[in-house]
Amino acid sequence: MKRHTKGPAASNLAAALVLLVLCAAVLIRADAAEPRRMNFDHTQTGFPLIGQHARAQCESCHIGGIFKGTPTQCASCHMQGSRIAVTVKPANHMPTNAPCDQCHTSTVTWTGARFRHMGVLPGSCTQCHNGSMAPGKPANHVQTTASCDTCHRTSAWVPATFNHATVLPGTCAQCHNGSQARGKPANHIQTTASCDTCHRTSAWVPATFNHASVLPGTCAQCHNGSQARGKPANHVQTTASCDTCHRTTAWIPATFSHATVTPGTCAQCHNGSQATGKPSGHFVTTRSCDACHSTTAWTPVLRYTHSSPNYKPHNAGVTCKQCHTSNGETITWPFAAYQPDCAGCHASRFKPDAHKKTQTPTTVLYTVSELRNCAGSCHLYTDNTFTTIKTTRSSHHRSTDGGF
């Protein structure tokens, strides 16, 4: 018996039995004449003394001074029932019958053993991962009785993943309550609705929401800035329901149906804060927007209907500002002396030569003042007494003509 055959079988009992028999046999042979060999080069034996083995007394292994036949399998010594007084596989050790050195490569310490998960059956994780045999769930772990591999792979605990394939709609909060799986952060919009009302299982962001069952006018129940997106700080000031101006598909563009708007009330909204207001440099007026604008577009401006008799209707090509040079309601008459007649604006365009009062013997011309309304009698008289009309000229000017 030069060397021990393979280590004893799995069960502690069997191991102990075999050891006993072997040791007894060795004891008888060694008795004869084997002196202690203190300077013995132990590497020769094929069992080099490394780590704690090197520090141990010879007798720890060679009980009774018997050298030959000392078992080499770790389990032969490090098992319950071994004759050798040494650390044995603890009772709470993970269930395995594999040779110790498959996982324990150190002779200094038992801790830090690595475990290859090859061949581990799905769902069997807790057999070992119960906190005593192998690392279990830390105290702050999400509460779950599911097998570890529901959420973990064997290569690492983090990141935890979860296959939502079998999850029933509406049951999300069973896990996503902040203890079993990620819950709503503290600043989450306040809602008791099931997570999947707004979230998919693939990612929390972006949150989406199916508005199909939302009743008109109820938007602000959620869209108050805490439950769902609310009005930004610079939003037009309004207490109207969001759907007055917004659809559910997107905030922009905002639209608004003017169907029920009472004429003359436009500025309630169109004040530059609630809805588009007058841009800077706008025609100075306090009148309601609809005096000049339609509800469909700001330009072109509807022709303003003047109430002033001083206004002479002109072609559309003549813009407000051409007369309203001060960009306000009152007119700065270019030739104030002739206001409110045509000449009040057109005196400079008066051509005296074309307005003869008499031709012979002396040529007398009309004055602007005489023809200030462009429509007065522009007769040609026979002489300076201006009593007999020689020619009647009736082609006076109209402001709606193309020219004078």
Q: Out of 229, 355, 356, 379, name the contact with ligand HEC by CB under 6 A.
A: 229
Is residue 172 within 8 Å of 136, Cβ to Cβ? no
Decide: is 109 part of the binding site for ligand HEC (CB under 6 A): yes
Q: Which is nearer to ligand HEC, 18 or 269 (CB)?
A: 269
Q: Which is nearer to ligand HEC, 28 or 390 (CB)?
A: 28
- Write out the binding residues for ligand HEC, residues 139-198 only, by CB under 6 A: 141-142, 144, 146, 148-152, 154, 156-160, 162, 164, 167, 169, 171-176, 181-185, 188-189, 191, 193, 195-198
Q: Out of 48, 65, 90, 352, name the contact with ligand HEC by CB under 6 A.
A: 90
Classify residue 44 as exposed, middle or buried by CB count within 10 Å of its CB (0-12, 13-18, 19+). exposed
Q: What's the rounded Cα separation, in Å, for the pair 352 and 354?
A: 5
> Residue 391: beta bridge partners?
380
Q: Out of 76, 347, 366, 371, name the contact with ligand HEC by CB under 6 A.
A: 76
Decide: is 12 part of the binding site for ligand HEC (CB under 6 A): no
Q: Which is nearer to ligand HEC, 206 or 361 (CB)?
A: 206
- Write out the binding residues for ligand HEC, residues 22-51 only, by CB under 6 A: 37-38, 40, 42, 45-47, 49
Shortest reach from residue 28's CB to ligand HEC, in Å: 15
Q: Which is nearer to ligand HEC, 347 or 357 (CB)?
A: 347
- Site size with ligand HEC, rule: CB under 6 A: 207
Shortest reach from residue 365's CB to ligand HEC, in Å: 19
Shortest reach from residue 384's CB to ligand HEC, in Å: 28
Q: What's the rounded Cα separation, in Å, for the pair 193 and 327?
A: 57
Q: Out of 5, 43, 102, 332, name the contact with ligand HEC by CB under 6 A.
A: 102
Q: Out of 266, 368, 371, 378, name the contact with ligand HEC by CB under 6 A.
A: 266
Decide: is 103 part of the binding site for ligand HEC (CB under 6 A): yes
Q: Out of 5, 43, 132, 322, name the contact with ligand HEC by CB under 6 A.
A: 322
> Residue 381: beta bridge partners?
358, 389
Burial 77-87 (b: 16+ CB within 10 A, else e): bbbebbbbeee
Q: Which of 238, 240, 236, 220 is nearest to 228 (CA)?
A: 220
Burial 355-374 (b: 16+ CB within 10 A, else e): bbbbeeeeeeebebeebbeb
Q: Which is nearer to ligand HEC, 106 or 369 (CB)?
A: 106
Shortest reach from residue 361's CB to ligand HEC, in Å: 32
Q: Which is nearer to ligand HEC, 382 or 399 (CB)?
A: 399
Shortest reach from residue 59's CB to ligand HEC, in Å: 8
Q: Out of 317, 387, 388, 392, name the contact with ligand HEC by CB under 6 A.
A: 317
Q: In degrees to the nearest 10, what's the CA dihedral of 218, 219, 222, 225?
A: -140
Q: What's the rounded Cα separation, in Å, for the pair 218 and 280?
A: 36
Q: Which of 348, 401, 361, 358 is nearest to 378 (CA)?
A: 358
- Write out the binding residues for ligand HEC, residues 325-354 only, by CB under 6 A: 329-331, 342, 344-346
Q: What's the rounded Cα separation, in Å, for the pair 347 and 354?
A: 14
- Write out the binding residues for ligand HEC, residues 117-146 only, by CB under 6 A: 117, 120, 122, 124-129, 134-138, 141-142, 144, 146
Q: Name the segment binding ligand HEC (CB under 6 A); options: 17-25, 69-77, 360-368, 381-389.
A: 69-77
Q: What's the rounded Cα separation, in Å, for the pair 195 and 183?
A: 9
- Write out the binding residues for ligand HEC, residues 200-219 only, by CB under 6 A: 201, 203-209, 211, 214, 216, 218-219
Decide: is 19 part of the binding site for ligand HEC (CB under 6 A): no
Q: What's the rounded Cα separation, in Å, for the pair 295 and 265?
A: 12
